[in-house]
């Protein structure tokens, strides 16, 4: 039987499927490092530590390695909660909400508070009718097993209240901690001359095929394209590059431990996703003074690209708009934006929320 031993979240338990390079897991590791730095104990239930993000796991974190990268392996989370008696469970993104639901089901009243972060869009225009209906029904169940939801922007918070039916007093707005330079990361070989950069997993959600397809149609026939990330769509994207005769202009070197230098050196950063949560890469690009182009993949995109000098937002299915935006931002006379500095203290804000929820449960 779980019991809370203090009125603050001294011990936080979280989970991840693998260390293969997703933005959700990378943000989780930054948060865990911050919580550890504030003197908290953090336990990470990890399906598999294989993958490039393994190098970023904080040294003082307590790891429970399952040795099984299958999603279903995390359904045993409740057993690890019983064994370790954390004060609070943190679900790092939408992908893990079924794991949180299973933990609540197994633990019942013995469950500590469960806080979940909204990491991806809750409205998915690309879904078919039945999939969209099922997804809405699933979202409506979330208030039954989550004590609180964290959204990264006000618009995402409004979407959580509307789509999940989560009461306003159970939704908070806290940004991800900003990415910091990692001097220990292997350097990325940058293209010669001007280049466009994309950063994200090579998965269908990211729709890098749109960006590759646009490259032959832009005015500057010398500009290169660098895509940083790894994933299951690599073979299809490489085949597309070859079919378009772009092998000399497109490079996909894989995961980057520190994408900031590549973002800083690019003329423009581009995100062509079908859907996103709050795309960290847009903030990272703007933090180093690189303008951005993004599809209308999230309600949060326009909260990041707030000024014309920051870049442009385009429709998801409009290849002509993508080419036009690229031509505009690749104009050699265009002035780069002033770097956008992150504000606030996400680590402190998260811990204040966790402490409040644990104190409420202890009464």
pLDDT tens, 37-91? 999 999 999 999 988 899 899 999 999 999 999 999 999 999 999 999 999 999 9
| pTM of this structure | 0.89
The 10 Å CB-count burial string (b at 16+, else e) for 69-90 is beeebbbbbbebbeeebbbbbb
Give the span between the Cα atoms of 25 and 96, in whole angstroms. 11
- 237: closest CA among 276, 292, 200? 200
Whether residue 216 contacts residue 176, with contact meaning beta carbons closer than 8 Å, is answered with no
What pLDDT is recorded for position 277? 84
Whether residue 59 contacts residue 75, with contact meaning beta carbons closer than 8 Å, is answered with no
Give the tokens for residue 5: 């031993």
CA distances from residue 299 to 123, 152, 231 in whole angstroms, order as listed: 9, 11, 25
What pLDDT is recorded for position 363? 67
What pLDDT is recorded for position 2? 45
Average the pLDDT over each of 114-128, 141-155, 253-267 and give the range with the smallest value.
114-128
- 117: closest CA among 283, 293, 232, 280? 280
pLDDT tens digits, one per residue of 253-294: 999 989 999 999 999 999 999 999 889 999 999 999 999 999
Mean pLDDT of 5-13: 85
Q: What percent of the chain has pLDDT over 90?
A: 85
The 10 Å CB-count burial string (b at 16+, else e) for 34-54 is bbbeeebbbbbbbbbbebbbe
The alpha carbon dihedral of 314, 317, 318, 322 has a sign of positive
127 — pLDDT class (breaks 50, 70, 90) = confident
Whether residue 106 contacts residue 76, with contact meaning beta carbons closer than 8 Å, is answered with no
1 — pLDDT class (breaks 50, 70, 90) = very low
Mean pLDDT of 90-112: 96
Please calculate the CA angle 167-171-174 and round it to the nearest 5 degrees: 170
Give the span between the Cα atoms of 71 and 16, in whole angstroms. 9
Give the span between the Cα atoms of 285 and 245, in whole angstroms. 28
């Amino acid at each position: 039987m779980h019991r809370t031993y203090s009125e603050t979240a001294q011990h936080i338990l979280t989970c991840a499927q693998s260390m293969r390079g997703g933005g959700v897991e990378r943000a989780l590791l930054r948060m865990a490092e911050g919580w550890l730095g504030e003197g908290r104990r953090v336990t990470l239930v990890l399906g598999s530590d294989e993958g490039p993000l393994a190098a970023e796991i904080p040294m003082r974190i307590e790891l429970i390695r399952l040795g099984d990268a299958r999603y279903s392996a995390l359904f045993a989370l409740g057993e690890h909660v019983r064994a370790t008696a954390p004060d609070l469970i943190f679900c790092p993104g939408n992908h893990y909400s079924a794991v949180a639901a299973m933990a609540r089901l197994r633990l019942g009243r013995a469950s500590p508070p469960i806080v979940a972060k909204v990491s991806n869009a809750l409205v998915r225009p690309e879904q078919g009718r039945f999939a969209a209906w099922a997804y809405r029904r699933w979202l409506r169940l979330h208030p039954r097993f989550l004590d609180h939801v964290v959204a990264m922007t006000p618009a995402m918070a409004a979407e959580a209240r509307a789509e999940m039916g989560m009461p306003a007093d159970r939704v908070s707005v806290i940004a991800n901690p900003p990415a910091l330079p990692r001097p220990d990361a292997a350097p990325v070989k940058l293209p010669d001359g001007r280049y466009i950069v994309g950063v994200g997993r090579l998965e269908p959600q990211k729709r890098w095929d749109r960006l590759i397809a646009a490259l032959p149609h832009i005015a500057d026939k010398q500009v290169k394209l660098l895509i940083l990330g790894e994933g299951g769509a690599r073979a299809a994207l490489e085949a597309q590059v070859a079919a378009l005769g772009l092998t000399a202009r497109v490079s996909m070197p894989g995961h980057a431990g520190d994408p900031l230098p590549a973002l800083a050196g690019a003329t423009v950063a581009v995100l062509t996703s079908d859907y996103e949560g709050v795309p960290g890469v847009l903030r990272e690009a703007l933090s180093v003074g690189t303008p951005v182009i993004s599809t209308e993949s999230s309600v949060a995109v326009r909260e990041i690209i707030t000024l014309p000098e920051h870049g442009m937002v385009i429709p998801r299915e409009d290849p002509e708009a993508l080419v036009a935006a690229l031509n505009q931002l690749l104009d050699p006379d265009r002035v780069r934006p002033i770097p956008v500095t992150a504000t606030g203290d996400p680590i402190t804000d998260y811990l204040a929320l966790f402490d409040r929820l644990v104190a409420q449960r202890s009464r």
